[in-house]
Chain A
Amino acid sequence: MAVLFFALWMILNGRITLEIVLFGIVISGLLYWFCVKFLDYSPRREWQAIRLIPSGLKYAWTLLCEIVKSNLAMLPLIYSSRKPEPKLVTFKTPLKRKSTRCILANSITVTPGTISVYLEEDTLTVHCLDTAMADGIEDLEFQRQLLKMEQMLEEGTKK
């Protein structure tokens, strides 16, 4: 996390000089201390997060591909005279953690054509613009990858 703060500081500064680097180290160190003390961060949990980086990057890649695909699927709907058939689908997710459920709901919202309306416990309500988009909604690629990540996290906590 401290490394992330430092990277953000460097990006926003836009130059590399001794002064900026030293200030950056001090400030990111202080911020990290604040996070550990008040925001419930701990180095142990961060090690778990670091182990998830490869699958996280893979997830981001799938998300990008899905965004491009669903955008291209939206174009004919907009420019043709056919009326869309909206649907409100309610389904249960097998995901157990709050954080992964939240990621799933946000991924669904960010791909055009589907918006998640409610997320209560394990029930998700999704609004789909067209019937074709609602078909495979309860078994998305996102969900499979998130399930894998969840399993990895649980193995990490057992050890």
Chain B
Amino acid sequence: MIEWIRFVLTALFLLGGLFILISGVVGQYRFRYVLNRMHAASMGDSLGLMLVMLGLCISQNDVFVILKYLLTAAFLLLTSPTSGHLIARLEIATNEHPEKEMELMQK
């Protein structure tokens, strides 16, 4: 019985994560500008991977394997914003007319 519940939960989390990842890919092709596309890409990085990792955690018995999965998720959460930030910075720094693509605001 417990095995079944665990299987269903794992499948649900994995499918949810997969759906988010696919939405990220779809978003990349729907948006037309680099920075807009990056938003779609960061979806897969954050929630998609977290859901997949959660599903894998539920499917495992070994505590150490679960901890390794959590470690992977934590490192991804730490590293993905850094690289995203660099890409965004490069785009804004090299774009001569950013006002064509977005509205500039000062608060």
**A and B from one complex:** yes
A66 to chain B, nearest CB (A): 10
B3 at the interface (CB under 8 A from A): no
B62 to A, closest residue via Cβ: A14
Instruction: Give the size of the chain B interface in residues (CB under 8 angstroms).
Output: 42
Q: Which residues of B contact A87 (CB under 8 A)?
A: 102-105
Q: Which residues of B contact A91 (CB under 8 A)?
A: 106-107
Q: Is the CB of B88 within 8 A of A85?
A: no
Q: Is the CB of A117 within 8 A of B42?
A: no
A129 at the interface (CB under 8 A from B): yes
Interface residues on A, range: 35 or more
A113 to B, closest residue via Cβ: B39
Q: Is the CB of B107 within 8 A of A109?
A: no
Q: Which of A12, A67, A134 contacts B47 (CB 8 A)?
A: A67
State in angstroms the CA–CA spacing of A68 and B17 once bound together. Answer: 12
A141 at the interface (CB under 8 A from B): no
A110 at the interface (CB under 8 A from B): yes
State in angstroms the CA–CA spacing of A109 and B39 once bound together. Answer: 9
Q: Is the CB of B30 within 8 A of A78?
A: yes
Question: A residues within 8 Å of B by Cβ?
Answer: 8, 10-15, 64, 67-68, 71, 74-75, 77-79, 84-91, 105-107, 109-118, 125, 127, 129, 134, 137-138
30 A-B residue pairs with CB within 8 Å = A8-B71, A11-B68, A12-B68, A14-B62, A64-B50, A68-B47, A74-B23, A74-B27, A74-B43, A78-B23, A78-B30, A79-B26, A84-B31, A86-B36, A87-B102, A87-B105, A90-B107, A91-B106, A107-B81, A109-B42, A110-B80, A112-B39, A115-B38, A115-B84, A117-B88, A117-B92, A118-B92, A127-B92, A127-B102, A129-B39
Across the A-B interface, give the 4 residue pairs with the lowest CB-CB distance, nearest first. A109-B81, A86-B102, A71-B47, A78-B27
